[in-house]
Amino acid sequence: MSGIPDVAVRFLDQARATPHLVAVHHNGHELTYAQLAEQVDDLTSRLRAAGVDGGPTVVLLPHGIPLVVAILATFASGSTFVPATDQWPDDYLAAVVRRAGAAVVVTDAPGAVRLAALNGTRAPVAAAVRVVAIDDSHRPESPAGEPRAPGGQERAYLYFTSGSTGTPKAVVGSLRGLGHFIGWEIDEFGVGPGRRTSLLTIPTFDPFLRDIFVPLCSGATLCIPPSAETILDGPALLAWLEDDRIDLVHLVPTLLRELVRGGRPAAAYRPRLLLLAGEPVRGSDITQARDALGDTAELVNLYGPTETTLATCWRRLTLDDATSHIVPVGRPLPGSQVQVCDADGRPQPPGVEGELVIVTHHASHGYLDDPVLTDRSFEGFGGPGPVRYRTGDRGYLTPDGDVVCLGRLDSQVKVRGMKVDLANVERRLRGYRRSATPSSTSRMTERWWRPCRPRVG
């Protein structure tokens, strides 16, 4: 790991250092670090007994403490974490399990019933997949021991996206890259005992890893909202954040807008830190957040694709940014740089638009079983230096060195932080007899995703 701690090791070290602090809180239920570590150890032993052996493990669980236990145990067992959700249709869920090559699925009783039923449908899962029910009362006879590094050159996780064909493709996450980002955020923002952080991200969106490991590797308390409905209801979410005294919130800008809509009285919720990622930040977001939440809340903009591990650029936002038509995403984290390149890959000077190319020592391992797509997007795998990743994002550098992202070079858009490929949407629409004509669909999607072009210079 070249001096960067494994996140599972870092969690267990933290549990030994602060065993009596509250690690996780959900719906009035709490686990201390010692209690959480004990449950993680139990499940880790069961995963190893089920034969994970460094291979992928799918986790299919709703938001709650069992989900936290499952992800920690997956990492501690040396398995590769593969998130899934019960919101996926049967054929997509089955396709992810098969594509990942998972030998084990961690789920609850309803999930186990669903997986069993899938084997009798047109979207069966492999018969060799073993289901580990996290609500099973079985406990192993021996402890799990120390965490193991994931197999396959530190393949920490797989995150799936559909792309324009609708076929699931997976980004292979780097354990080293994940550890680097988690350590950076903890150190940069002083996260530690006494801090209370939010879990607002769904497991199938890779910032979920940040939401889990930043608090639990630092001695802070991870707070989970009562239900998914709470996250989607601005007033209910604000009331929960205030009642649970959350002072560090990770969220997408769309959710921030719901949170601050209508403003709040002076005695209301006052967070310490809001970290925004997954979508462009507007200047109006800054002024509305200040008006609603006060001027003590620090706002931070984070930018980076899944392929380069959670975030590559960051910027502390000020009122000066509120006047910007498009708010800069900031400067690269340590160990990374961002170039703006033309169609031939030549770096461009400040103020000239082009494709954003990330050069980093903390990239993912490319795309699962897809060397053609990996070679098309990445350069430098296997060499001694950093990896170059072509993001497909359009932008430019300011004279001060900040990165400004203007949108996509293709038809992808972000909806609540999630990538949606409009080419895939259009392909699906073409399959319906009563859908719009191809030309009208193209015009509709172009109006939807095309960003405004600001004047540069």
Tens-digit pLDDT profile for residues 67-92: 999 999 999 999 999 999 988 888 88
Rounded CA separation 417/423 (Å): 18
**Contact of 202 with 403, CB cutoff 8 Å:** no
Determine the average pLDDT of the residues in 212-218.
97
Identify the pLDDT of residue 167: 66
Q: Between 283-293 and 253-260, two packed helices, what is the crossing angle to 10 degrees?
A: 40
Indicate if the alpha-carbon torsion angle 95, 149, 248, 193 is positive or negative: positive
Q: Could you read off the pLDDT of 415-426 as tens digits, one per residue?
A: 544 555 555 555
Is 182 or 146 the better-scoring residue by pLDDT?
182
CATH 3.40.50.12780 residue window(s) in the chain: 7-216, 225-409
SS3 at position 268: coil
Q: Could you read off the pLDDT of 311-347 as tens digits, one per residue?
A: 999 999 999 999 887 899 999 999 899 999 999 889 9
Identify the pLDDT of residue 330: 94
Indicate if the alpha-carbon torsion angle 182, 186, 189, 193 is positive or negative: positive
**What is the length of the chain?**
457
Q: Could you read off the pLDDT of 44-68 as tens digits, one per residue?
A: 999 999 888 778 999 999 999 999 9
Rounded CA separation 273/248 (Å): 5
Q: Between 207-216 and 65-76, two packed helices, what is the crossing angle to 10 degrees?
A: 90
pLDDT tier, 381 (very low <50, low <70, confident <90, very high otherwise): confident
Least confident of 142-156, 283-297, 300-314, 339-353: 142-156
Parallel, antiparallel, or unpaired: how do β-strands 56-60 and 104-107 relate? parallel
The class that CATH gives domain 7-216 is alpha beta
Rounded CA separation 324/336 (Å): 25
Helices (H) and strands (E) in the chain, counts: 15, 22
Parallel, antiparallel, or unpaired: how do β-strands 387-397 and 273-276 relate? unpaired
The class that CATH gives domain 225-409 is alpha beta
pLDDT tier, 449 (very low <50, low <70, confident <90, very high otherwise): very low
**Contact of 303 with 329, CB cutoff 8 Å:** yes
Q: What residues contact residue 237 under an 8 Å CB cut-off, 6+ apart?
A: 200, 225, 230, 231, 255, 258, 259
